[in-house]
Structure 1
């Protein structure tokens, strides 16, 4: 055997003989015949330059060098198994980090449960959530600071894939003592004379979508305050600044004095999309596949931009 030719199989053969103290039993364990096993042990001893296993007509025993080598051989084989398993886990997307961009409102809509389930599915992946305005999310995605994000009304970027995550409606949000609160459902046109607290249009295509829906209903909303997050919108509505249009999931954090009224005909939507680079890591791919299954989407599904 070449002096650089020691291989893991030589260590496995040696450990089998050392643990059974029988070439016959070791050959049976390894599912090979005895002569090749004996030859491999001799080659290993030639490579090392000393006798590891003492053989006699009656028994097989380890030399002092063999006993010391057994400890090291077991450690090397165990490390090899760990290295193999770690590579498999990483290659399968079950280890590493995953940076996800989102807004607080999207987190309320189901992202929290999805991430929690993924952490159980792939405990070796560290998931880091980054709350930021939608425009900043897309910029961070393009710059590689995020691995994927969940957005309402994402932009068109040929480097990104966009596919539906979940559907969500929009409700009118108003104080419970507001005259319109007596109705179970409202049309957008019913809100034409109301002051609005709005998402800041400079940061949100979703805000532009809501604006367009109002225009199509025959009026331009009279915006008195613009903010970034849903909880700020609700706080201002509760303080009497006006009414608002919010995703249905925001009701989970609504103060007791607010009422959510569905919009008749579903003229506005708050559907959420999963957005990620076309070229992505195994971890991202694993999360995408898990999300599709968890959210009931087929592997071939794709929304705009897919």
Structure 2
């Protein structure tokens, strides 16, 4: 039994006419009649009473019509769902990220994506940068966002949005009165930093200090940028932080831009190739909303 047998039978049952059903289906009447006879032979019971002038459903035909309609509706629903998933209009999108990334435009981007693709479930997975790379390879996530992506030729990298780096100081710090602070002005300051073994971004900031002519005196290392701000507020040191973190209001912490050559905190999107249709749709929206910054 094939789907065409069900479609042909439903057309005849609803038309109660082989001629009308043939016109509706766009087929000639003899093959249609043969398909119905083949179906009845397979089922072992007649579905239609035929006379020279009329067609009527047998009791078996009436029962079969209900199930045939339901089956065809389920097939159509399955086809529509497959088309939606294939086009990225339905499905799931798993995103790996660190908490500090949400301080930037990503939250707004996810909301806009939900408005455009309401049938896609977006799931966020907060994890350290190193775990994000492993999650992509294990297909636990589809996309992740990092400030300093790893050198991994099997992953595609797109710069999602640019972001400068500033300095967070205790509100009463001697440098807090300046409009901008040069990196070299921090050579004698204690630093609180993201954990170097986990964060390529932290290594990038340390290297920027080395390029400015000094080795930063790192007194504390933490996992999350929010913890950096708390340590700065406690007076344990200064911290180099992305602008999105500095934009969060905190009366006991002063944020100042870096003057002169300064490291960047640009955020990159990483994904496997080939990307799923859902991932491609998210990246397309990202380019629309934030501008195409890389390929």
TM-score, normalised to structure 2, is 0.88
Say whether residues 1:214 and 2:172 are aligned partners: no
Equivalent residue for 2:87, pick from 83, 92, 115: 92
| Alpha-carbon spacing, 1:207–1:82, altered in 2? closer, same or farther (3 Å) | same
CA contact (8 A) 1:170 1:266 kept: no
Alignment of 1:137-286 (within 5 A): 137-265=132-260, 267-278=262-273, 281-286=276-281
Say whether residues 1:16 and 2:11 are aligned partners: yes
Measured on the aligned residues, the alpha-carbon RMSD in Å equals 2.5
Structure 1 unaligned blocks of 5 or more: 1-5
| Alpha-carbon spacing, 1:144–1:84, altered in 2? closer, same or farther (3 Å) | closer
CA contact (8 A) 1:234 1:254 kept: no
Of 137-146 and 12-21, more deviation after overlay is shown by: 137-146
Q: Deviations over 1:62-84 (max 9, x none)?
A: 11111111011111111211222
Q: Distance in 2 between matches of 1:198 and 1:162?
A: 25
SS in 2 for 1:263: strand
Alignment of 1:19-168 (within 5 A): 19-168=14-163
How many residue pairs end up in the alignment? 295
Which portions of structure 1, spanning 4 or more consecutive aligned residues, are displaced by more than 6 angstroms? none
Please report how far the alpha carbon of residue 119 of structure 1 lies from its aligned counterpart in structure 2 after TM superposition.
Answer: 3.3
| Alpha-carbon spacing, 1:34–1:147, altered in 2? closer, same or farther (3 Å) | same
Q: Distance in 2 between matches of 1:80 and 1:47?
A: 21
Q: Distance in 2 between matches of 1:127 and 1:227?
A: 28
Please report how far the alpha carbon of residue 283 of structure 1 lies from its aligned counterpart in structure 2 after TM superposition.
Answer: 4.4
| Alpha-carbon spacing, 1:271–1:68, altered in 2? closer, same or farther (3 Å) | same
CA contact (8 A) 1:16 1:29 kept: yes
Structure 2 unaligned blocks of 5 or more: none
Please report how far the alpha carbon of residue 201 of structure 1 lies from its aligned counterpart in structure 2 after TM superposition.
Answer: 1.4
